[in-house]
Structure 1
Amino acid sequence: MKVLTFHAPGDVRIEDAPEPAPGPADVKIRVRACSTCGTDVKIFNHGHHHIVPPRVMGHEIAGEIVEVGTDVAGWAAGDRVQVIAAIPCGRCGECTRGRMTVCPNQVSMGYHFDGGFAEYMIVPHNVLDVDGLNRIPDGVSYAEASVAEPLACVLNGQNLARVGDGDDVVVIGSGPIGCLHVRLARARGAARVFLVDLNRERLDLAAGLVNPDAAICGAETDVVDAVMKLTEGRGADVVITAAASGAAQEQALQMTARQGRISFFGGLPKDKPVVSVDANVVHYRELTIVGANGSSPAHNKEALRLIASGAVPVADLITHRLPLADVRDAFGIVARGEAIKVTIEP
């Protein structure tokens, strides 16, 4: 079978590999869709401290079961499934308190285990142990199901930021995560959603799909001033920084309404993780600043339900579908911001 293997930063190869066999507690799937994201590009360029090469990449996975281990119950060949990416241990103090997104023992598909840029792959028992293998609802395609993983992360972020009825929401960053934030905020009852980006071309592409109440180009206007005018001077109830930008995080504090919430959703570069925060603004406006890190198995299940119900459509966000042989081209498309979502269909 064909796989995409990471060997070193800048060195990823389409290679031949033997088909894997499941262990007694594992499941083998035929990968039908594995979507790409900005993290894949970062791994391609810089590697990752959790990846010991060679490793098959890909973590936004959907496929069809072809074989189950002898100890596996409840699953059979032919079942259509989506696989969680971040795998909590299910046993530590955080997991038993319901905080699986911050499990200190977390492992991940495409990092600790071979991932979905392959024709076949093994879903390890670690996934099944935490109920992380999910049935794809009828009417949901494999490609749509693969987008459940990033939507699950977005769902976690909006739960933490308490996005809800009547909120004015600003989403900074118009990539696939930003688009999902816009759609989920609307599904949760937000009154208005404003989308911000520095890149006019990317902003126009995203806005044409998700139709925010306003699209603000940071390269052409003062973003804080624009948001304050759009909100009649009070600021936004929620600001989500869906971009790896310290400047965006600093701007968020300036455009948030009293008792508003700020989600630092996008992580910052490891060599520049510090931002300037006016603590008095946080204090006197009674602001809440929250982080957001990944998703839990339950978030993945809810994401699939949101897709299946039509509450959060994702099919039109998949702007490119490519075969496994072209996965390196997909990384370039993602890096240049030429797409919303690029899905690989091995």
Structure 2
Amino acid sequence: MKAMRFHAPGDVRLEDVPEPECRTDEVKIRVRNCSMCGTDLKTLRNGHHMISRVTTMGHEIAGEIVEVGSGVAGNWAPGDRIQTISNIPCGQCYECRRGWTQICQNQASMGFQYDGGFARHMIVPAAMLRAGGLNRIPDGVGFAEASAAEPFSCAINAQEQLGIEEGDTVVVFGAGPIGCMHVRIARAVHGAGTVILVNHRPGRLAKATALVHPDHAVDSSVVDVVDAVRDLTGCRGADVVITATPAGQNQQQAVEMAARNGRISFFGGLPRTAPTITLDSNLVHYRQLHIHGTNGSTPEQNRQALDHFAAGTVRADDLITDRIPLDDGLRAFDVLAGGDAVKVTVEP
């Protein structure tokens, strides 16, 4: 079968590999959609500390079961439509015992330690099954949308920390799929008032604005975004700021534009080559700001994402702008890097 395999930074190959065999404590799936995100692009370019061998990439996975190991518990059967978590908690460490499975210190991930979903078939490892990370796709939710449940669940995780209240002004940096999801969650789930979407690429900003309809769209390539937000809020600033970008400048601007008692999510990680920022800590002190890191999601938050899709509270199917067959899968990296696509999915 074909698979997109990471060999080294800058070296991802579409190659023939043997179809995986299912052991007694595993489940084998036919991958129908595996969507791509910025982490995949960063891994292509720079590698990843969690990859120590040649590995099939892909961690936003949806498909159908083709085989269930004889020792697998639960009511699973061939033909079941499923979505998988990406980050697999160990269930044993201090963080897991506290229920903080998204920051498990022994976390493993699909597409990194385990072969992922950029292939026709994939094995769901026993560790994922133990963690409760295999989820049924509800009726009415397609495979492509279900594959977006993983990034959607990460946005759910971030916003649960922020205490968004009805009527809050929310600024989202980044007009990619995560930024679009943040706009929708802030409104539909938490009742945000004014939502402001910020991006430095006008083409992507226009496309995202047409999809998720923020109250204001700010092109940060032509205006000072801090001044723009203060103007839009009567000089008060934003109650909540989410930086769904890999840009340190946006994290600094988030602190500068936050209102008193503002909550900030550093959602997007920074490049390993530039992981530090400079911020005015007096703003944090005197405005009583709350800065949150965020990492991944829990199995339960994946299920919440699927439930939102099924209920129509928030959808993601229309955010998928590019569907690329696996035989042409390497092109997906170029499409994602081009900056005009919103969500890219690979279809094995």
TM-score class normalised by the smaller sequence: over 0.9
1:52 shift after superposition? 2.2
1:53 shift after superposition? 2.8
Name the aligned partner's letter for residue 124 of structure 2: V
Q: Secondary structure at the match of 1:186?
A: helix
Q: Distance in 2 between matches of 1:109 and 1:256?
A: 36
Partner of 1:326: 328
Partner of 1:6: 6
Instruction: Kindly report the root-mean-square deviation, in angstroms, between the aligned alpha carbons of the 2 structures.
Output: 0.9
Partner of 1:128: 129
Runs of 4+ deviating beyond 3 Å:
none
Q: Flag structure 1 segments of 5+ consecutive residues without an equivalent.
A: none
Spell out, residue by residue over 1:212-247, the C-alpha distance to the aligned partner (whole angstroms, 9 max, x if none): 000000111111111111111111100001101111
Partner of 1:163: 164
Q: Distance in 1 between matches of 2:258 and 2:128?
A: 39
Name the aligned partner's letter for residue 105 of structure 2: P
Partner of 2:257: 255
Relative to the length of structure 2, the TM-score reads 0.98
Name the aligned partner's letter for residue 99 of structure 2: G
1:163 shift after superposition? 2.2
CA contact (8 A) 1:34 1:143 kept: yes
CA contact (8 A) 1:164 1:185 kept: no
CA contact (8 A) 1:237 1:260 kept: yes
Name the aligned partner's letter for residue 82 of structure 2: V
Q: Distance in 2 between matches of 1:196 and 1:17?
A: 42
Name the aligned partner's letter for residue 90 of structure 2: C
Partner of 1:213: 215
Q: Secondary structure at the match of 1:275?
A: coil
Spell out, residue by residue over 1:32-78, the C-alpha distance to the aligned partner (whole angstroms, 9 max, x if none): 00001111111111111211231100000000000000111321101
1:134 shift after superposition? 0.2
Written as runs of structure 1 = structure 2, the 5 A alignment for 1:21-60 is 21-60=21-60
Spell out, residue by residue over 1:241-275, the C-alpha distance to the aligned partner (whole angstroms, 9 max, x if none): 11011111111111111111011111111121111
Spell out, residue by residue over 1:108-147, the C-alpha distance to the aligned partner (whole angstroms, 9 max, x if none): 0000000000000100011110100000000000000000
1:18 shift after superposition? 1.5
Partner of 1:273: 275
Count of residue pairs the alignment pairs up: 346
User: Share of identical aligned residues, percent?
Assistant: 58
Partner of 1:224: 226
Q: Secondary structure at the match of 1:273?
A: coil
Q: Which of 268, 284, 288 lines up with 1:282 in the alignment?
A: 284
| More off after superposition, 128-137 vs 227-236 | 227-236
Q: Distance in 1 between matches of 2:52 and 2:165?
A: 41
Q: Secondary structure at the match of 1:161?
A: coil
1:166 shift after superposition? 1.4
Q: Distance in 2 between matches of 1:321 and 1:133?
A: 24
Relative to the length of structure 1, the TM-score reads 0.98
1:208 shift after superposition? 1.0
Name the aligned partner's letter for residue 178 of structure 1: G
Q: Distance in 2 between matches of 1:290 and 1:12?
A: 34
Name the aligned partner's letter for residue 165 of structure 1: E
1:160 shift after superposition? 1.2
Q: Flag structure 2 segments of 5+ consecutive residues without an equivalent.
A: none
Partner of 1:114: 115
Name the aligned partner's letter for residue 53 of structure 1: R
